[in-house]
Amino acid sequence: PILVRSGAITLSNNTEYHVKAYRAVGNGLLSGARLVIKQSGTITKTATYIDFLPKIVSRGANTYTNQESINWPHDADLYDGITAAYFEASIRHSTGSYSAYAELWNSSDSSQIAEVSDASTTFVRKRSADIKASLADGKKYMVRIKNGGGNTGYSQQASLIIVQENF
């Protein structure tokens, strides 16, 4: 792996930032990426995004299935001061006549933790209610998608967002 680092960038207040990678030609492997923020003073709040999907995925059937999602193991010892957690996915449907769905799935216990859906034909970012109480230490989580009816549902991003304060 080769470490590639950008120069300094200017950030704005009340703005979310995400790290994304794109390769125009051929195959590539991104083994890790992060946005490093140097702050002065005391850090009182942060959000960690666990990204599940490596690329745009699609599903033509109306049953949930794993579409190249990572199977992320939750280790509560790594996340002090969790005040909230959310599932978020950017989804769309090919025709808009039906909805596309994405779920955060507890693969250890075979149970749904959160679900988002939308019938838009362009990608829409949808966020669940707070799911902090549903995350269990030592369990594994993945994202699954489905199509709510005819044609195809898509997701281009799906994340678990862990909010920490006063850690």
What's the rounded mean pLDDT across residues 87-94?
Answer: 95
Q: Which long-range contacts (CB under 8 A, 24 or more apart) does 14-22 make?
A: 18/49, 18/157
Q: Please report the pLDDT score of residue 30 as a whole number.
A: 63
Tell me if 118 sits within 8 A of 93, measured CB to CB: yes
pLDDT digits (tens, 9 = 90+) for 18-65: 776 667 777 766 656 666 666 677 777 888 889 898 788 999 888 998
pLDDT digits (tens, 9 = 90+) for 140-157: 999 999 998 888 999 999
Q: Please report the pLDDT score of residue 32 as a whole number.
A: 62
Strands 45-51 and 111-118 come out as: unpaired
- Indicate the range of 7-21, 130-144, 146-160 predicted with least confidence: 7-21
pTM of the shown model:
0.79
Helix ranges, the chain (H): none
The vertex-76 CA angle with 15 and 142, nearest 5°, equals 70
